[in-house]
Each structure stands twice: as C-alpha cells, then as structure tokens.
C-alpha cells in the first residue's frame, strides 16, 4: 500500500531535471575564467616568478662609495629598481642633459605611484673636484630621489671597472681647467642588484620608465 510520502517521492522522481541553456553555460564558463584569472593575478603579485637570468653577466658587483651620510655599498641597490648614471658636475652638455631625462622619468614614476620602488644614483668620475657634498647638491637640483656619490680615486676606478665604464681626465689647460671624457650609459639595476638594461644617453624618459616598471614586481 502506497503512502502519501511514497506518492510524493514518486512524483519528484518523475519530474525531469531542467538542463542549463547554452547562454547560462557560457556565462558560467566566462565567470570561471575571470575568477581563475583573478586568482592567478593575485598569486603573481604576491608570489612573483623568480627573476629571469641576467643579460649582462660579468658587469657590476661590489663597491664602496661616499655619500653625505657616510659610506655606501652595493647593498643600496637591493630591493629597489635603480637608475645609475656616471658623470661629473662640471660637465657642460651630456651629463646635465641625461640628468634631466632621468629626473623626468622619476617624475613620471611619481605620477604612476611607482617612485617608492625606484631611485636614481649619480656617480662622479671626477672625485678631485666633486666631493660627496658637491655631488649631492648637484643631484638635488634635478630630483630629490637621485643620490649623489663620490669617493677616492681608487673607489671610483673600482666601480668603473666593475661596470665596464670608461673615463679619463683630459689635458689640463693653462688656467687649470679640464674636462672628463667618459662613457654615457644609463644603467637600470634590478632589485637583486644585477643589471636589467643598459641604455645610451639618447634614450627617452618613457623608455627608462618602461624598463623600471618591468622590474618593480620584484621589489
């Protein structure tokens, strides 16, 4: 004898299951893809992939220089993306032109809120005239996020050799004036202290910014 409960169960079993239409299936698929992409993005941000192999092995390394706050080493490069340029404060053309480009790129990074993960560094190749205080005053004219560094002649030679940077003192005039011939690379340093890119002084602020932003996920 069938009870009322049996009839209810039997009736439910006879009700056909409603299948999802293709539009709803497509919407669910899209939602799943978006969700998976979002999770991957969060994972990539929190746990970025290892830094790629360096493109400039053998360039860069340990150094000790002088700032207005005291000695600094290659450790100042760790954890940020650095833009390094070698020059001298008495330079009449290439140095100030390049420093204006670097300062423009730092202003652009300020607008994109990336400046906290970046820094500029100017290293003099003329320690005879450029003390740490004088270099710092020079760099502050361009941007307050550019650190000015000097050192002894041997310290400057050491870092120049490490970075394959050529320079020499030109003949001194009768008035005691001289210029410095030097390379004009702009070095973009990765957060691990290794070189990410070497630009010529003719590169644009936009190119510098794009390269800096490329390495910011690892800062």
For the entire predicted model, the pTM comes to 0.78
**Average pLDDT value over all residues in the chain:** 88
- Taking 80 as the threshold, does the pLDDT of residue 79 lie above it? yes
Q: How crowded is residue 198: how many other Cβ atoms within 10 Å of its Cβ?
A: 18
In tens, the pLDDT along 91-147 reads: 999 999 999 999 999 999 999 999 999 999 999 999 999 999 999 999 999 999 999
Residue (of 107, 156, 106) closest to 130 by Cα position: 156
The mean per-residue pLDDT over the stretch 76-100 comes to 97
- Taking 90 as the threshold, does the pLDDT of residue 204 lie above it? yes
Contact status, residue 163 vs residue 60, Cβ threshold 8 Å: yes
Q: Can you list the domains of the chain with their CATH numbers?
A: 4-46 (no CATH), 64-218 (3.40.30.10)
Token duo for residue 69: 């706050």
Contact status, residue 173 vs residue 48, Cβ threshold 8 Å: no
- Per-residue pLDDT band at 38 (split at 50, 70, 90): low
Strand 146-149 and strand 167-169: the pairing is: unpaired
The mean per-residue pLDDT over the stretch 49-55 comes to 91
CA pair distance 85, 188, nearest whole angstrom: 9
So what's the pLDDT on residue 49?
Answer: 84
In tens, the pLDDT along 25-36 reads: 666 666 666 665
The mean per-residue pLDDT over the stretch 178-194 comes to 97
Distant-in-sequence, close-in-space partners of 50: CB < 8 Å, separation ≥ 6: none
Q: What percent of the chain has pLDDT over 70?
A: 78
């Amino acid at each position: 004898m069938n009870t009322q409960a049996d009839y209810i169960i039997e009736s439910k079993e006879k009700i056909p299951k409603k299948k999802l239409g293709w539009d709803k299936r497509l919407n669910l698929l899209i939602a799943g893809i978006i969700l998976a992409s979002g999770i991957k993005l969060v994972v990539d941000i929190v746990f970025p992939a290892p830094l790629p192999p360096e493109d400039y092995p053998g360039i860069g390394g340990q150094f000790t220089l002088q700032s207005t706050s005291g000695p600094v080493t290659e450790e100042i490069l760790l954890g940020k993306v650095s833009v390094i340029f070698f020059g001298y404060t008495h330079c009449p053309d290439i140095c100030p032109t390049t420093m204006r480009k670097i300062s423009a790129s730092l202003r652009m990074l300020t607008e994109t809120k990336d400046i906290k993960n970046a820094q500029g560094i100017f290293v003099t190749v003329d320690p005879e005239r450029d003390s740490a205080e004088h270099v710092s005053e020079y760099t502050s004219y361009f941007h307050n996020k550019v650190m000015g560094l000097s050192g002894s002649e041997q310290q400057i030679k050491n870092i120049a050799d490490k970075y394959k940077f050529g320079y020499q003192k030109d003949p001194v005039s009768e008035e005691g004036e001289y210029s410095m011939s030097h390379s004009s690379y702009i070095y973009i340093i990765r957060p691990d202290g290794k070189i990410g890119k070497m630009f010529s002084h003719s590169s644009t602020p936009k190119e510098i910014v794009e390269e800096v932003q490329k390495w910011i996920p690892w800062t």
